[in-house]
Amino acid sequence: MDTPSLVMSKDINSYFEGLLKKVHGLYIIQITDRDGAPVMRVSQDKNVDFTLTPSFISTFTTASDQAGKLGLGRNKTIISMYSNYQVVQMNKLPLILTFVGSENCNTGHILALEHQLDAYLEDMRLAVSES
């Protein structure tokens, strides 16, 4: 998809790029609003044949909303395993975090990133919820 380039602070950007390097097999980190409009995205140079369309994200939002009604509390994370990729999505409304990695990527490590990330998401959360 042809999206306008995102301007972002060097520090935050390099932090997220560092995460890509730390987690072996992690290809993409994308932060979007609930409808899938990207706020920030970092990806490995490697040619990853996986396009994250806004509809992919908004489907997660609805699925997460519905899963929250199963009586087990609010849904926080959905992990989807595909034949070549795994997608970990976190519901941090108003933000949605999407991680795409190889199928044998360290899922536990991605999940452990959650609480480390919080401090870095504050500005983005503000930017999205201001509307």
Partner 1 sequence: MEYFRPIWSCMSSLFCGCLHCNDDLTNQGYDPSERTHLLSDTVNNSPALRRTNSENISSDCQSVPKKDDQQNALCRLVQNTAINMIDVGAMDSHNLEHQECDVRIKLYSHRLQQQWSNIQSPSKRVKGILKDIPKPDVYLTLSVNPEDINQMTAAIERVHRALANIKIDHKEAIVVPFRIP
Partner 2 sequence: MEQQLEKALNEINSQPDTVGCLITNRQGLCLGAAGKINPKMSGIGMALSEQACKLEPNLNPPTIVLYSGNKRCIIQKDGEITGVIYKESSSN
**The one among 36, 86, 88, 89 contacting partner 1 by CB under 8 A:** 36
Contact set for partner 2, span 107-126 (CB under 8 A): 107-112
CB of 17: closest distance to partner 1 in angstroms? 16
d(CA 35, CA 94): 10
Contact set for partner 1, span 90-129 (CB under 8 A): 93-94, 123-124, 126-128
Determine the interface stretch with partner 1 among 55-63, 78-86, 96-104, 107-115 (rule: CB under 8 A): 55-63
Quick note: the x/- pattern for partner 1 over 59-78, rule CB under 8 A, is x-xxx-xx-xxxxxxx----
Q: Which helix (H) or strand (E) holds 21?
A: helix 10-22
Binding residues with partner 1: total (CB under 8 A):
41
Q: Which amino acid is at 43?
A: S
Determine the interface stretch with partner 2 among 16-24, 43-51, 62-70, 122-130 (rule: CB under 8 A): 16-24
Binding residues with partner 2: total (CB under 8 A):
12
d(CA 70, CA 74): 9
d(CA 9, CA 6): 10
Judge if the upstream peptide bond of residue 94 is cis by omega within 30 degrees of 0: yes
d(CA 57, CA 38): 10
- Between 4 and 108, name the residue whose CB sits nearer to partner 1: 4
